[in-house]
Structure 1
C-alpha cells in the first residue's frame, strides 16, 4: 500500500515544505498537485512548480500533477514537451479533458499517466489501450469532492477499481485530512461521501478494503498523531490508541497479530502468549466485559494464560480473565478492520 499527500501551490512555501517533510518522515511516498485549480494565482507558476519538484526530490517523494491544455500554456510548454517535466522533478501527469486517446497513450511511454478513475469508461479505456497506453505506466485516479453530498458511493468506487484492475491498472482514492482543511469550503476532500468527517485512518482502511491501491490525503495537512498513524499503516499495521491499567503498561508500543482463524467475538493476539509473563487473578469483579475492553487471561486459564484479547462486543466476565485496559473512543471504529492475520499496535 502506498500513501501520498496533496500540495496546493497557492499555499505559502513554508507551510508546504513543513507538510512535505512531516509526510516524508511518516512514510508517505508521493505528492499530488494540481496545475489547473482556479485558485492558484498570484505567483510565478513555473518557479513554484520547479521549487516543488526540487523539494520533493530532496525527500525522495514522487510528484503526480493534474494538467490541462491551459496548464501547458501557463508552463510555457507544448504537449510534445511534457516529458521535460521529469527534469523539474515531476514523475507523471493526471490527464482528463482536452487530450486525445492517442496523445495520452503516447505520453505513457515517457511519463507515468493518471487517468480519471471516476469518468473513464470501459470503451474509452479500450481505446486508450488500442492506441498503445502502457498499463504498467498508468494509474486511475478518483476525484475528490469539496462540496458536501457530492462524493461517490463505496459501491461505485469498488466497481471502478475492479474495472481498472481487469486491465492491470492500479487505482488511487482520496481521504480527508484532520488539521487544516482546504478552502474555500473547508468541508474535507474525500472521494467517498461517507468518509467526509471521519478519521483519515479509518477512511484509508476502508479504501484499502475496497481494492484501492494508493491513497492520498486530499486536504493540506494532518495532525501529528494522525500522520504518525499513517507511518504504521505504511507497514500494514493498524494503529490503536489504548489506555492500560497498572501492571499492563508494557503493552504500549507492542505489535500484535490477529490470529488467521479470526474469532467472531474477540481479536486474539498471536504474540501475547509467548511474552513469558504470568498474571495473577484480578480481584476486581465485573459482570460483563464491554466492547473495546482489552483483556488478558490470568494463570487460572492454564495453557491460555497470558493471551491478550480485544472484545468486539460485550461478553460475560470470567474469573480467569483480567481487564488490562480499553481501546480509546477515537480508535474503536478501527477494530472492524483488524481481520485475519492483520497486525496492530497499541499507542498511548
Structure 2
C-alpha cells in the first residue's frame, strides 16, 4: 500500500510549511504527493513559483507528485494547449486526468514514451468507460485511479458506492486510491475536511485510514494540507497486510490475555454464522500457558484458563471472548461475536468493539488477517 500527502501551492500554507510537510512525510517513508492545478481559490501570483519548488523538492526526495489537471488548468501553468512534452518540461510526471478528456485522448496519452504516468477519476469511471478505453487501445495495466475528495458537507461518497467502484477498477488491474481528511487544520475555503467517504468527516483519523485499508485501497492520501504530526505518523505506520481493530478492553485483563491479543490472527476458512473465529488462538494460548507454567516451575499439565467472571457476562455483537478451561479442548479460542449471544460460564469476555469499529468486521473474510491496536 502506498501513502501520500497533499500540497496546494498558492492556497493556505506558506511555502515554508509546505517544505516542512514534504520533508516530514519523506522521513516517515511516505512516497506520494497529491496536488491540484484546478482550485479556483489558488493565488495565481504565487502558484507557479511554489509549484516549481514543490516539484524540485519532491524529485530530490524521490517522491511521486500526482497533479490533478484538466484543460482549464493550462492557464495556471502558462501553457496555451495541452501538450505532454510541455508538461514534462514543467516537471510533471504523473497526471490525474479529470474532466475534459475523451476515451480516445486518454488512450493516446497512455501510450506516451516519456514516462508520464496517468491516473483517472475513480469516482466516475464505469464499465462502459473502461470498455471504451480498451477499444481505443488504452493499456489499463499502466493506469491508476484515484477517487475524488469532497469539500462540501453531505456530498462525500457512500461506503457501498466506493467499494463497488474500487472493486470494478481493481478487477481490471487498475490500482485505486482515496482520500481521508485531516482534523488538524482543514483546507480552505470551506474548512470542512476533504474526505472521499462522507462517513470520515465524522470519525477519527485513525478509523478513516484503517477503514480505507480494510476496503482494499492501494493508496491512501491525506487530503488536507497541514496534518498533525500524529496523523502523519499514523498513516506512515499503517500496515495494509492486516485489518486493525481498536477495542475497548476490560480493565482486568491478565498478562497472558494481553500477550495473546498482541498477535496477528487469521480468520478461519470455515466461516461461522455467529462469531468470527481465529486460526491461531488455541495454539498460541497453549504456548503461552506452557511458558507461564515453566516460569512458575509447575507441570505443564496444570496450565489452564480459569473462568473468572461470575456471573458470566452477556456477549452482544462486537464482544471479544476467550474460551476457558470449561470448554475443554476449545480452551484458548479467541472469538469476536457477530450477533448478540447469551452469557456462557465457559467463555471469558475480554472487551468490546464500539459500533464504528464493528463496521470493519465485514471485511475480515475467511483467510483475512486482523489485529488489535
Fold match by TM threshold 0.5: yes
Alpha-carbon deviation of 1:259?
Answer: 1.4
SS of equivalent residue, structure 1 residue 49: helix
SS of equivalent residue, structure 1 residue 336: helix
Alpha-carbon deviation of 1:323?
Answer: 2.4
> Structure 1 residue 280 and structure 2 residue 282: aligned?
no
Of 243, 246, 254 in structure 1, the residue corresponding to residue 253 of structure 2 is: 246
> Structure 1 residue 106 and structure 2 residue 108: aligned?
yes
More displaced 10-residue stretch of structure 1: 42-51 or 140-149? 42-51
Give, in whole Å, the separation in 2 of the partners of 1:257 and 1:122.
Answer: 33
Residue 300 of structure 2 corresponds to none
SS of equivalent residue, structure 2 residue 96: strand
Give, in whole Å, the separation in 1 of the partners of 2:264 and 2:125.
Answer: 41
Give, in whole Å, the separation in 2 of the partners of 1:60 and 1:8.
Answer: 19
For residues 125-152 of structure 1, give each alpha carbon's deviation from its aligned partner in whole angstroms, at most 9, with x where no partner exists: 5555454433222233332222223334
Alpha-carbon deviation of 1:257?
Answer: 1.7
Residue 5 of structure 2 corresponds to 5
Residue 232 of structure 1 corresponds to 238
Give, in whole Å, the separation in 1 of the partners of 2:173 and 2:52.
Answer: 32
Asked if structure 1 preserves the Cα contact closer than 8 Å seen for 2:315 and 2:343, the reply is yes
> Structure 1 residue 292 and structure 2 residue 326: aligned?
no
More displaced 10-residue stretch of structure 1: 139-148 or 197-206? 197-206
Alpha-carbon deviation of 1:258?
Answer: 1.8
Please identify which structure carries the higher strand content.
1
| Runs of 4+ displaced beyond 6 Å | 208-211
Asked if structure 2 preserves the Cα contact closer than 8 Å seen for 1:189 and 1:218, the reply is yes
Instruction: Flag the 1:152–1:14 CA change in 2: closer, same or farther, 3 A.
Output: same
Instruction: Flag the 1:315–1:161 CA change in 2: closer, same or farther, 3 A.
Output: closer
For residues 16-50 of structure 1, give each alpha carbon's deviation from its aligned partner in whole angstroms, at most 9, with x where no partner exists: 45544565566654322101211221653333223
Give, in whole Å, the separation in 1 of the partners of 2:345 and 2:129.
Answer: 63
Residue ranges of structure 1 left out of the alignment (5+ in a row): none
Asked if structure 1 preserves the Cα contact closer than 8 Å seen for 2:179 and 2:221, the reply is yes
Aligned length: 347
Instruction: Flag the 1:211–1:325 CA change in 2: closer, same or farther, 3 A.
Output: closer
TM-score (norm 1): 0.79
Asked if structure 1 preserves the Cα contact closer than 8 Å seen for 2:319 and 2:337, the reply is yes
Q: Which has the larger radius of gyration?
A: 2
SS of equivalent residue, structure 1 residue 44: helix
Alpha-carbon deviation of 1:62?
Answer: 1.9
For residues 144-184 of structure 1, give each alpha carbon's deviation from its aligned partner in whole angstroms, at most 9, with x where no partner exists: 22222333445554554566557554443334444332232
Residue 270 of structure 1 corresponds to 279
Asked if structure 1 preserves the Cα contact closer than 8 Å seen for 2:36 and 2:68, the reply is yes
Alpha-carbon deviation of 1:322?
Answer: 1.9
Asked if structure 1 preserves the Cα contact closer than 8 Å seen for 2:320 and 2:349, the reply is yes
Q: Give the 5 Å matches for 1:54-93.
A: 54-57=56-59, 59-77=61-79, 79=81, 82-83=84-85, 90-93=92-95
Q: Give the 5 Å matches for 1:180-199.
A: 180-199=185-204
